[in-house]
Structure 1
């Protein structure tokens, strides 16, 4: 569920069920051409579907953090902390192009990085899309338990 779909009245009723916040992180540098920026946004959108669709009744997707900067990890950690202080029990950061790992974002409960999933894999070891979706869903269920 997108943040913009929730009214103030809805939030009071839905908050106990919508306990997980999803922060999309595009990691644009500003050096991308308009065409490259569109491709990066589409890649992130498609990756977000792995969580947004199966967990629609429990996850709220917040506005994306688009641009990467030197202090970005600190900013993302602070954002996760603020969202938890605001009532979310869990915060997930998702990125398609930045190879983030959990240790980078200690305030996030889960970091899902498409780029990190492919690091260290040989050409013949690529995970199928369905295997990747199952792995992501498994990580989310583990976080909730």
Structure 2
């Protein structure tokens, strides 16, 4: 579910069910021409579909963090921390074109990078992504944190 699909009147009732926030990371540099920017957004959209569609009732997608040269991700890390401060238990970051490391975003609970999973395609990729989300929600995983 996208953040814009939630109305104020129903949020109090729905909030307990939505414990996970998805923040897309495009990683644009500003040097892309319009076609390249469009292609980057389409790759990210397609990758996000692997999570947004099957987990629609538990996850809310926030606006994308579009630009970043991956040199200093402190602002992005702060955003992850702030989102948790609004009541989300988990923050998942997804990127189609960038490699993000856990040590760069310690406030994110899970980083899914299409580049890191590049060898996987189709059903294998879908299963791997969904398994990582399920592992995040697994109570045994939470006690190890």
Same fold (TM over 0.5): yes
Which residue of structure 2 aligns with residue 80 of structure 1? 80
**TM-score in terms of structure 1 length:** 0.91
Please tell me the root mean square deviation across aligned C-alpha atoms, in Å: 1.2
Task: Tell me how far apart the structure 2 counterparts of residues 112 and 94 of structure 1 sit (CA, whole Å).
Answer: 5
Mapped pair 1:21 → 2:14: no
Is the Cα contact below 8 Å between 2:27 and 2:70 reproduced in 1?
no
Moved over 6 A (4+): none
Task: Tell me how far apart the structure 1 counterparts of residues 92 and 121 of structure 2 sit (CA, whole Å).
Answer: 22
Which residue of structure 2 aligns with residue 57 of structure 1? 57
Is the Cα contact below 8 Å between 2:22 and 2:61 reproduced in 1?
yes
Alignment of 1:81-96 (within 5 A): 81-96=81-96
Distance change in 2, residues 1:26/1:70 (3 Å): closer
Mapped pair 1:138 → 2:131: yes
Distance change in 2, residues 1:71/1:78 (3 Å): farther
Q: Per-residue CA shift, 1:112-142, capped at 9, x if unaligned? A: 0001223xxxxxxx32221111111111111
Gaps in structure 1 of 5+ consecutive residues: 119-125
* Paired residues, number: 138
Q: Per-residue CA shift, 1:39-93, capped at 9, x if unaligned? A: 0000001011000000000000000111114654111110110000110000000
Secondary structure, aligned partner of 1:63 = coil
CA shift, 1:100, in A, is: 1.2
Distance change in 2, residues 1:57/1:38 (3 Å): same
